[in-house]
């Protein structure tokens, strides 16, 4: 017969791991949306110059769509990080704190990955037009 941890320390660690990933997803949903809109607007301003009224309205509608897409994408990234958090809390990793920390860091990176890829995609597709390449755009990213 085995004794169960009466303090519920594993439950606290599980909740902490899920809470950290949820906090990261929430921040990516809010700050990522704003960062995406600002970067695309500045890139379009650099490449196209002054936008016409029609282009400005199209940009406003595109920006409004990002307020829907980014929370969904952040939620999907959060769900993708949950199996990694589960793996970190298996009993086989009980005495390996460095492995738990590595897996928790990996879960945080998975939570961040979806919104960051979306930002790079939006800047490359929506912001950069034609042969224009902003001076800060790395050469290894698509334009």
122 pLDDT above the threshold of 70: yes
Contact residues for 126 (Cβ-Cβ < 8 A; gap 6+) = 40, 43, 44, 62
Query: In which band, very low, low, confident or very high, does the pLDDT at 84 lie, cut at 50, 70 and 90?
Result: confident
Q: What proportion of the chain, given as a percentage, has pLDDT over 70?
A: 83
Taking the CA of residue 102 as centre, how many other CA atoms within 13 Å lie in the half-sphere pointing to its CB? 5
Q: CA of 132: how far to CAs of 44, 126, 143, in Å?
A: 10, 12, 8
- What six digits make up the tokens of 39? 């970067």
Interior CA angle at 36 toward 135 and 49, to 5°?
50
Mean pLDDT confidence for 55-63 = 84
Q: What is the mean pLDDT of the chain?
A: 80
Question: Residues 86-120: pLDDT tens digits?
Answer: 887 777 766 777 888 888 888 889 989 989 999 98
pLDDT for the residue 76: 92
122 and 36 in contact (C-beta within 8 Å)? Answer: yes
Residue 143 three-state SS = coil
Tell me the pTM. 0.75
Q: How far is the C-alpha of 88 from the C-alpha of 107, rounded, in Å?
A: 9
Q: What is the pLDDT of residue 12?
A: 66
pLDDT digits (tens, 9 = 90+) for 3-25: 555 555 556 666 776 788 788 88
């Amino acid at each position: 017969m085995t004794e169960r941890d009466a303090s519920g320390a594993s439950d606290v660690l599980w909740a902490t791991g899920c809470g950290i990933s949820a906090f990261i997803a929430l921040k990516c949903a809010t700050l990522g949306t704003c960062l995406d809109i600002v970067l695309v607007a500045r890139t379009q301003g650099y490449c196209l110059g002054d936008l016409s009224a029609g282009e400005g309205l199209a940009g406003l509608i595109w920006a409004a769509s990002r307020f829907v897409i980014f929370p969904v994408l952040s939620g999907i990234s959060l769900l993708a990080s949950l199996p990694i958090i589960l793996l970190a809390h298996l009993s086989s990793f009980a005495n390996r704190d460095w492995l738990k920390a590595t897996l928790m860091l990996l879960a945080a990176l998975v939570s961040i990955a979806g919104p960051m890829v979306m930002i790079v995609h939006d800047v490359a597709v929506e912001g950069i037009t034609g042969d224009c390449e902003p001076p800060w755009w790395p050469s290894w990213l698509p334009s």
